[in-house]
Amino acid sequence: MRRRSIFVPLIATIALGACASVAERQIGTVTVDGEDFPVVSRTIQGQNGPFDTAGVKVYGKRFTCRPQSAGDCEAAARRGLEVDIFSR
């Protein structure tokens, strides 16, 4: 199961890279329990027009979030912290 969860994002990244380019990239932070985590927002220019994607990075793992939705990136960081607790 672990192998599949790495494989799917890898294929999606390769497929996306073949037909789209990053038009804009912004980096911010979200603070959870006194710790800062980077939030990377990208505007991707695809065949059908631009679309936005974002994620918060928690100890090397990326968790998808929506920065325009209040508290969503903080919630994603908390999910990341919970996952990290169980993977130790």
Q: Can you tell me the distance from the alpha carbon of 19 to that of 80, in angstroms, rounded to the nearest whole number?
A: 30
- 61: containing domain: 21-86
Q: Can you tell me the distance from the alpha carbon of 78 to that of 33, in angstroms, rounded to the nearest whole number?
A: 9
Query: Domain for residue 34, yes or no?
Result: yes
- Pairing mode, strands 21-32 and 61-64: unpaired
Instruction: Please answer whether residues 22 and 54 qualify as being in contact, where contact means their C-beta atoms are separated by less than 8 angstroms.
Output: no
State pLDDT tens for residues 7-40: 445 445 545 455 678 888 999 999 999 999 999 9
How many structural domains is the chain composed of? Answer: 1
pLDDT at position 62 is 94
Query: Domain for residue 74, yes or no?
Result: yes
State pLDDT tens for residues 26-82: 999 999 999 999 999 999 888 899 888 899 999 999 999 998 898 999 999 999 999
Query: Domain for residue 37, yes or no?
Result: yes
DSSP conformational letter for 79: H
Distance of CA 52 to the CA centre of its chain: 11
